[in-house]
Amino acid sequence: MFLRELNDPVTKLTGVGPSVAGNLTRLGIVNLKNLLCHYPRDWEDRSRIHLIKDWNSGRVCTEVQVLAHDWFGFGKTKTLKIYVEDDSARACLVCFNRPFMGKQFPVGKRCKLYGQFYYKFGEIQATAFELEALNAKTGAPFGPILPIYPLSMGLTQGLLRKLIFQTLEQYASSLEDELPESIIIRDKLFYKADAIRAIHFPASQESLKQARKTLIYEELFYLELMVGKRVLQRKSSIQENDTSVKPKKEFAGDMSPLQKRLLERLPFSLTSGQQAAINEINASLDGPYPMARLLQGDVGSGKTLVSFLAALRAAEKGGQIAIMAPTELLARQHAENAARYLEPLGLHVAFLSGNLKTTGRAQVIKALASGEIDFIIGTHALFSRDVVYKNLSFVVVDEQHRFGVLQRQAIMEKGNTPDLLMMSATPIPRSLAMTVFGDLDVSVIHDLPPGRKPVTTHFAKESNEGKVYEFVRKELDAGRQAYFVYPLIEGGDELKDAVFMSERLANEVFPGIAVALLHSKVDEEKKKQTMDAFRKGEIKILAATSVVEVGVDVPNASCMVIENSERFGLSALHQLRGRVGRGTEQSYCFLVYSDNLGEDGKLRLKVMQESSDGFVIAEEDLKLRGPGQISGVEQSGYLKLGIADTVRDSEQLEKAREDAFSILEIDSALEQNENFRINEVLKRAPPFSEMGL
């Protein structure tokens, strides 16, 4: 029997009635497998004596004798105090709500004491402690190291220990191993029964360590096995439109005719990073499997152009292409670029967003269904229910981290296993690249187009912002433009907001200079007008929220002023800073921070001055905020593992991936003898089924 086959309800255990069962349910424990997988959050090693006199330096763990009883308070609040003594000192145990302890521990009794002490009213006291009679027959059958479980109301450590111990007694010996024997032997891991026993009631620190290692590895191994199987699945689902004649083989490895024509029209040549990325993409597109690739590259590295090139190759195969962007602003910008670059090559380009007027929308939808449109660019509207494609064969998701897993799935389902290219300037940490995105191929653009001058970053206290304004004025006088970014749209009290500040900038700070306001609540038509005017230079200053964060491309803008910059994540600041430095002139980023920002906050901002590398900044951000903050990931369930932690256990994860992938490589159907066990696990007790893997 595998552990995940232990489906008997907890009520099967002696001592579990409806009320205890109810309490267990609150911890998510319904059946025996849940119970055994309720791993301790910590362990107490009671084999190490820690005398009362040393209460100040850690938990006390010692043998004591009961000296006296005392009571304080009246009526309901009457509380028992038990005085005890070990070889070193005396202490007082305050037994809130435990008057019955008096009978259990009469004067003279010898006991084992365990607890956290403090000094109060001239005594060494404890309220959170455990006292165990030394000669008790009912005494714990457990070893010297005791598990400490996460609890919920109505449950005690004692009860959980008993229940889990009982379950182990009855079932542990019949638990089958899940890891391949060869790995268990190679890494000197425990067999399953021993591992699960020792994780709850280890005989020694050494065996606890080994049990943890075993269970963590087992979990990661199966996680990667599932990821690996998904890769295989993708690779086995040969695209339908590939069964036709394949014209693409003609230009295998090379740029296709349309790709070449686009490159000839460009006023610049590809960076070597772009070149490498498109080569990898071309190879995937020519391969027999649907592509699923992540294209990473810092802000301004030219990912859009790479996606256009890729799209051209797909278009030559006769399918439709969709580019999905998270904001209307960005989608429009892409659409304009596509019209400029791709229409002259004979492609029919269209734009679709939720704000398109009914008639325009109906036309686009009709033309998509008939196949008249080759290339559609838009927002979430691209996967609306009523949008039907004739033959969607290539999907690009720009700024992919802005979309949820389900949204990416929704657009993919509009086609018949289309090729997928996801793009992001937010680097994905290694641990996630092996799990959430573990089945993707990855291309990285490490360089930026030549001639870019690094943006100079300055810090300023809010009270010094006058100097920042002066600096910006000089840039404006020299014909340049500026962004001012605020953490709030409106109604800022302690914080500055875009609405109020746009007025102030226009009327007080830069009178006579054209200032416009941009934030997510401005209606799309107005947004578009504003951006057009800013791009043309009719508007000099854009007062905005982080809506300008993604994609906006105005080379003449040389100043980015971010106020209350302490309110933004580092990656967001990096994205914002990437809005300037797109032309040939030197550009500047001002991080204005609140006068009362602490040292930690300043240190955090300093990272922005030390690095202009989005990958470095994202790693810093990850360290400071944890992977749960990376949007899109929390919905994936990958972070809710049982005992493993993909960030903490990244080394094990890497090894598990190697093991799992090499097994699948040799025996993808898991039919060989030595993989019988894995096969059985997947058949009888599939892991991570609740995560939809």
The least distance separating Mg ion from the CB of residue 307, rounded to whole angstroms, comes to 9
Cβ of 417: how many Cβ atoms within 10 Å? 19
Examine residue 545 and tell whether it contacts ligand ADP (CB under 6 A): no
Contact 181, 677 (CB under 8 A): yes
**How long a stretch of residues is the chain?**
693
Alpha helices by DSSP H, listed for 550-649, are 570-577, 599-610, 614-625
- Which is it for strands 515-518 and 541-544: parallel, antiparallel or unpaired? parallel
Examine residue 299 and tell whether it contacts ligand ADP (CB under 6 A): yes
Quote the longest CA-to-CA distance of the chain: 97
Contact 425, 278 (CB under 8 A): no
* Residue 87: both structure tokens together: 């070889």
The stretch near ligand ADP (CB under 6 A) out of 221-229, 232-240, 264-272, 583-591 is 264-272
Examine residue 427 and tell whether it contacts ligand ADP (CB under 6 A): no
Examine residue 646 and tell whether it contacts ligand ADP (CB under 6 A): no
The least distance separating ligand ADP from the CB of residue 28, rounded to whole angstroms, comes to 42
The least distance separating ligand ADP from the CB of residue 530, rounded to whole angstroms, comes to 19
Sequence-distant (≥ 6) Cβ neighbours of residue 468 within 8 angstroms: 458, 460, 561, 590, 592
The least distance separating ligand ADP from the CB of residue 261, rounded to whole angstroms, comes to 16
Give dist(CA 337, CA 331) in Å, integer.
10
* Residue 59: both structure tokens together: 């938990």
Q: State the Rg of the chain over Cα.
A: 32
Of 301 and 431, nearer to ligand ADP (C-beta) is 301
Secondary structure of residue 559 in the 3-state scheme = strand
143 binds, among Mg ion, ligand ADP, none (CB under 5 to 8 A by kind): none
Secondary structure of residue 637 in the 3-state scheme = coil
301 binds, among ligand ADP, Mg ion, none (CB under 5 to 8 A by kind): ligand ADP
The number of residues that bind Mg ion (CB under 5 A) is 1
Give dist(CA 594, CA 504) in Å, integer.
18
Give dist(CA 675, CA 536) in Å, integer.
65
Of 396 and 622, nearer to ligand ADP (C-beta) is 396
Examine residue 62 and tell whether it contacts ligand ADP (CB under 6 A): no
Work out which of 113, 146, 270, 364 binds ligand ADP, going by CB under 6 A.
Answer: 270
376 phi-psi bin (left φ>0, alpha ψ -120 to 50, beta other): beta
Long-range contacts for 400-407 (Cβ within 8 Å, ≥24 apart)?
A: 400/294, 400/424, 400/632, 401/426, 401/630, 401/631, 401/632, 402/326, 402/550, 402/631, 402/632, 403/324, 403/326, 403/632, 404/632, 404/635, 405/632, 405/635, 405/636, 406/635, 407/380, 407/383
564 binds, among ligand ADP, Mg ion, none (CB under 5 to 8 A by kind): none
The stretch near ligand ADP (CB under 6 A) out of 16-24, 109-117, 303-311, 599-607 is 303-311
Give dist(CA 21, CA 676) in Å, integer.
36
Examine residue 426 and tell whether it contacts ligand ADP (CB under 6 A): no
The number of residues that bind ligand ADP (CB under 6 A) is 15
Examine residue 449 and tell whether it contacts ligand ADP (CB under 6 A): yes
Work out which of 125, 239, 301, 546 binds ligand ADP, going by CB under 6 A.
Answer: 301
Using CB positions, name the residue nearest to Mg ion: 551
The least distance separating ligand ADP from the CB of residue 356, rounded to whole angstroms, comes to 23
Work out which of 115, 147, 202, 297 binds ligand ADP, going by CB under 6 A.
Answer: 297
- Which is it for strands 515-518 and 481-485: parallel, antiparallel or unpaired? unpaired
Examine residue 302 and tell whether it contacts ligand ADP (CB under 6 A): yes
Read off φ and ψ for residue 30, nearest 5 degrees.
Answer: -115, -40
Give dist(CA 219, CA 303) in Å, integer.
36
Work out which of 303, 408, 540, 577 binds ligand ADP, going by CB under 6 A.
Answer: 303
Of 164 and 262, nearer to ligand ADP (C-beta) is 262
Of 199 and 396, nearer to ligand ADP (C-beta) is 396
Examine residue 400 and tell whether it contacts ligand ADP (CB under 6 A): no
Of 210 and 407, nearer to Mg ion (C-beta) is 407
**515 to 554: interface string for Mg ion, x by CB under 5 A:** ------------------------------------x---
- Which is it for strands 79-85 and 349-352: parallel, antiparallel or unpaired? unpaired
Closest CA to 300 of 553, 474, 606: 553
The least distance separating Mg ion from the CB of residue 303, rounded to whole angstroms, comes to 5
Of 296 and 407, nearer to Mg ion (C-beta) is 296
The stretch near ligand ADP (CB under 6 A) out of 263-271, 311-319, 473-481, 563-571 is 263-271
Work out which of 300, 371, 404, 537 binds ligand ADP, going by CB under 6 A.
Answer: 300
Examine residue 256 and tell whether it contacts ligand ADP (CB under 6 A): no
Work out which of 387, 422, 425, 554 binds ligand ADP, going by CB under 6 A.
Answer: 425
Contact 525, 594 (CB under 8 A): no
Binding site for ligand ADP (CB under 6 A): 268, 270-271, 274, 297, 299-305, 425, 449, 553
Binding site for Mg ion (CB under 5 A): 551
